[in-house]
Structure 1
Amino acid sequence: MRGAKRIDNSVIGRWWWTVDHATLACVGLLIGFGYVLMLAASPSVAARIGADRDLFILKQVVFLTIAGVIVVGVSLLSTTAIRRVALLGCLLALAATAYTLVHGLEIKGARRWIGLPMMSLQPSEFLKPCFAVVTAWLLTERRRTRHFPGMLMAFAVFGVILMLLKSQPDIGMLTVITTVFMAQLFVDGLNLVLVGVGIGSMVAAFVGAFFAFTHVRSRVERFLHPSLGDHYQIDTALQAFGNGGLLGRGPGEGRVKDLLPDAHADFVFAVAGEEFGMLVCLFIIGVFCFMVVRTLLKLLNEDDPFVVLASCGLMTGFGLQAFVNMGSTLHLIPTKGMTLPFISYGGSSALSVALTIGMVLALTRRRPKAMSGVLR
């Protein structure tokens, strides 16, 4: 009976026997944690701003449900379809990001969002996965097609993104996209001297941002000199981890969600630490690490350079986003408003991360040689 199921030639049947079940299960775990932590953190936040206590919960249920559908739906696509979706998505995200500079919502001095009826859309979130795939296509196509200016085009697209994000400004998102781009260039075989030049350029750009943007300078100075400025959010988050201890205070028993305005978003990891303890936090970290490492190990046996570069870029962005959120909450790095994938509240984040993982699952599906032509 088991063998009969393996020869199922339906679309769903082929998908089920070729997709990475372990990564798919990890996505389910993270979405599950997202639901649980929204139930724990969001009612207090909603009550504090005078909204219905179930507002954030209901919206996040919708966001995560759509995210789950996107993961499965995108993972059904062939590599050719993934390239087309990424190219179209990159063009739309670039246009929408440019639109925010003129008609975007301004929040805390930055124009990054477009107001929609049910949510505020942040188009730059979708640049991360789409740019990674487009870059992979440009870099590999230049090797397949003579005189194709793939490297030049990749740098041109990156330059446009750089100018748009600098103008919003969104230095954190720009840092993530730059790191993804540099990682892809390194994997593609960029000369080590040029890698050093790239790293040096990133350091120089960071120094420039430190002096050019007051909010960047403030966050770095407060990180390096705890005696300067307001550390209320970080101090409260660290205290929450201490209160949680090894096993946590129990579901609903935490206090950090009553104190932090972003307990359901940027500081949701602190809620997990206080209510469920260090062991659950380590488990969450382990799930993210497992997803990244498993994908990278699968790429060691991959023959298609496009799949290698695209998947590498996608998982670099995914892993870096998780690290930035948890590292900021634990005061390992300067604070940066970035969501924890699938767990923090946020529609744009949930949908863009779902697109990222859906693309990774599609690209890393097992492609037997007899089927490779069909799947690609």
Structure 2
Amino acid sequence: MVSRAERSLVGDWWWTIDKALVVAFGVLMTSGVVLLMAGGPPVAQRLGLDTFHFVNRQAIFLAPAVLLMLAVSFLTPRLVRRVALAVYVGSLGLVLAALEFGPEIKGAHRWIYLGPFGLQPSEFLKPAFVILAAWAFSEKARSDMPGTPIAILLLPVTIVPLILQPDFGQTMLVTVVWACLFFIAGLHWIWVIGLGGAGAVGIFAAYELLPHVRARIERFLSGDASESFQVETALQSFASGGWLGRGPGEGTVKRILPDAHTDFIFAVTAEEFGIAVCLAIVCVYAFIVLRGMLLAHRSQDAFCRMAVAGLVLMFGLQASINMMVNLHLVPAKGMTLPFISYGGSSLLSLALATGFLIALTRRRPAAGGARTEAYGGALVERPA
């Protein structure tokens, strides 16, 4: 236990973090390893790898991910902005490098290999972009800082390389989060209509000009099992598992599901552990989003308020898109389920984002030397 009187770095961190958020993230990380033991072995066996290849690699990546999350959570808001700027510049450079030097995988250039390690730089671009956009929007009131023009310029600079990869799932996620931050910043309803119209035009243009996007949308709308094998197979997992599941290791549909360890691990969870466990996972994601939005609402700092809102929106939207794909509610996007799907780049980037989130939701001294604390849902000012 750490005493409240202890003024060390660790002591201050322990008594200022939101422990409910940290516990929720811990639950998801632990669940990811457990659930990957169900979805990973069948894919590994089909590829001729060791049975627990993906489970072991996820566990290996989990240790540095936890350390990264904890280290970033010690940062002050000023250092969060600086780290985000460095990550953004580096990630954007690697995204551009992947376009030129990255291997083509499933028709896209999203990966770049640094020695024996593969990296998807767009994963790290997302949280850094949210921090920088929130900082720019929060500075719009300053006469010497063109915050809004910078925030507007950030969007095309970020999404154009993603479109060129192409990665329309990440592009859509980044754009929606940016639009939400624009709305939180107090844009006029005319802007809402204009942005909505621009988004509709962009989707129509992608459908007309890009065969990859058109094929994916048409497969989704056709409802033909032969045209959407993975999604239809995922739906069979939900039907096979029922409310309580077939039991750990008893699933059968996962043996023919190509991406059972990544995009469709939610469906594997439904078959082996039941819809009840899936609903519990949904509740954990919902708790993180709602708790984050509550903490953002309580924050007196404009930057922290917008950054926290943007981070939890990005986190919740990514989880929602993945689960909706598994339920055949939206076209397949190739987006992972946060902390549960297999993926080293995804795990490390999520650790970075959650570290930012924990750092920005820490209780800090308010103006006038008072410390703002939450008791019973109300804010109470105590002497510093």
Q: Identify the residue that residue 211 of structure 1 maps to in structure 2.
A: 208
Residue aligned with 1:111, SS: coil
| Residue identity (%) | 46
Normalised by the size of structure 1, how large is the TM-score? Answer: 0.95
Matches within 5 A, 1:151-162: 151-162=148-159
State whether residues 26 and 287 of structure 1, in contact with CA within 8 Å, keep that contact through their aligned partners in structure 2.
Answer: yes
Contact 2:168/2:333 (8 A) holds in 1: no
Distance in 1 between the 2:32 and 2:322 partners?
A: 14
Which runs of at least 4 in structure 1 moved beyond 4 Å after TM superposition?
Answer: none
Residue 344 of structure 1 aligns with an amino acid whose one-letter code is S
**Amino acid in structure 2 at the alignment position of 1:331:** H
Q: Does 1:185 align with 2:182?
A: yes
Per the alignment, residue 382 of structure 2 pairs with none
The CA distance in 2 between the partners of 1:119 and 1:26, in whole Å, is: 29
Equivalent residue number for residue 38 of structure 1 = 36
Deviations 1:326-352 (A, max 9, x none): 000011111110000000000111111
Task: Give unmatched runs, 5+ long, in structure 2.
Answer: 372-384
**Partners of 1:224 and 1:46 in 2: how far apart?**
31
- Pick which of 92-101 and 211-220 moved more: 211-220
In the TM superposition, what is the alpha-carbon distance from 1:116 to its structure 2 partner? 3.5
**Partner of 1:254 in structure 2?**
251
1:316 correspondence with 2:313: yes
Aligned match of 2:161? 164
Paired residues for 1:1-376 under 5 Å = 5-144=3-142, 146-227=143-224, 230-369=227-366, 370=369
Output the aligned Cα RMSD.
Answer: 1.6
- TM-score, length basis structure 2: 0.93
Which blocks of at least 5 consecutive residues in structure 1 are unaligned? none
**Conserved in 1, the CA contact under 8 Å of 2:119 and 2:345?**
yes
TM-aligned CA distance change 1:56 to 1:294, over 3 Å: same
- In structure 2, relative to structure 1, the CA distance for the partners of 1:216 and 1:371 (3 Å cut) is farther
Q: Report the secondary structure of 2:109's partner residue.
A: strand
Aligned counterparts of 1:183 and 1:85: Cα–Cα separation in 2: 23
Please tell me whether the aligned partners of residues 128 and 177 of structure 1 are also in contact (alpha carbons under 8 angstroms). yes
Measure the CA separation in 2 of the matches of 1:114 and 1:279.
39
Work out the CA distance in 1 between the residues paired with 2:115 and 2:253.
Answer: 30
SS of 1:300's equivalent? helix
Structure 1 residue 76: deviation in Å?
1.2
Note the alpha carbon deviations across 1:107-136, whole angstroms, 9 max, x for none: 011001012345421111111100110111
Q: Is the 8 A contact 2:225 2:232 kept in 1?
A: no
Aligned equivalents of 1:90, 1:236: Cα separation in 2 = 37
**Aligned mates of 1:331, 1:210 — CA distance in 2:** 19
The amino acid that maps onto 2:212 is H
Q: Write the distance in 2 (CA, Å) between the matches of 1:116 and 1:258.
A: 32
Higher relative contact order (CA 8 A, sep 6+): 1
**Quick check: 1:83–1:137 contact (8 Å CA) kept in 2?**
yes
Give the length in aligned residue pairs.
370
Contact in 2 for aligned 1:221/1:228 (Cα 8 Å):
no
8 Å contact from structure 1 (residues 119, 347) kept in 2 = no
Equivalent AA in structure 1 for residue 211 of structure 2? T
1:246–1:279 contact (8 Å) kept in structure 2: yes
Contact 2:17–2:359 (Cα < 8 Å) also in 1: yes
What are the Cα deviations for residues 257-307 of structure 1, in whole angstroms up to 9, with x where unaligned?
Answer: 211111000000011100100110000000000000111012222111101
